[in-house]
Amino acid sequence: MKSQNLEKTIEELRHRVETLELALDTILKKMPEIRINVEVPRIVLEKKPIHIKIKASELHGRIMLLAMEGFLDDWKTAGDIASELVRRGWAPKDFKHVRPVLEHLVSLGLIERIRSSKKKRGRKAKWLYRAMEDLSQKVELTQ
C-alpha cells in the first residue's frame, strides 16, 4: 500500500514540475530581458594627516634636514647617511640608532627603502634609503 502511495506522490511531483517548467518557459518568452540590480556597499576611507613635531637637534630631525636639502634624492645606505651626519658635525651619540630612525621614517611614509642588489662577500644585502618624491608636500619647516 505504501509503495502505491509513494508512486502516486512521485507522479504528482513530476506533473507539478512539468507544469512549472511550462509556466516558466511562457514567462521567459514574454520577457525580452531580465535585469538584476545588486547593491554594492561603497567604502570611504578617510585619511587624516597626523602632525608630528620633530626638533632639528634630534636624529629624526637631522635626517629629515638631509632629505629636505636633497641629500636623499638618490639611494643611500645607512652608513652613507651616518657618514654625512658625522661630516656635518651631527653625529648621534650611538650609531646603532640610525637604522631604527630610518625605519621609523619609512613607516611614516617620508622616505622609502629597497634592498641593494650588491652583496659583499659574507654579508647580507644592505638597505638603501631615499626621500619620497612628495616629501616637500608632507614636511613643513618652521623656525
pLDDT value at residue 123:
65
How far is residue 54's CA from residue 133's CA, in Å, rounded to a whole number?
Answer: 20
Instruction: Give pLDDT, residue 82.
Output: 92
Which residues, including other chains, have CB under 8 Å from residue 85's CB and lie 6 or more apart? Answer: 62, 63, 66, 91, 92, 98
Per-residue pLDDT of the chain (143 residues; tens, 9 = 90+): 677 888 889 999 999 999 999 888 888 788 777 788 889 889 888 888 888 888 888 999 999 999 999 999 999 999 999 999 999 998 888 888 899 999 999 999 999 999 887 666 666 668 999 999 998 888 888 87
- State the DSSP string of 36-97: -----PPP-PPP--------TTSHHHHHHHHHHTTGGGS-EEHHHHHHHHHHTT---S-GGG
Compute the Cα dihedral for 120, 121, 123, 124 and give only its sign.
positive
pLDDT of residue 124: 67
Domain spanning 59-138: CATH 1.10.8.50: no
Helix (H) or strand (E) holding 127: strand 127-131
CA distance linking residue 47 with residue 51, whole number of Å: 13
**Which three cell numbers, joined as nine digits, stand for 61?**
630631525
* Global model pTM greater than 0.75: no
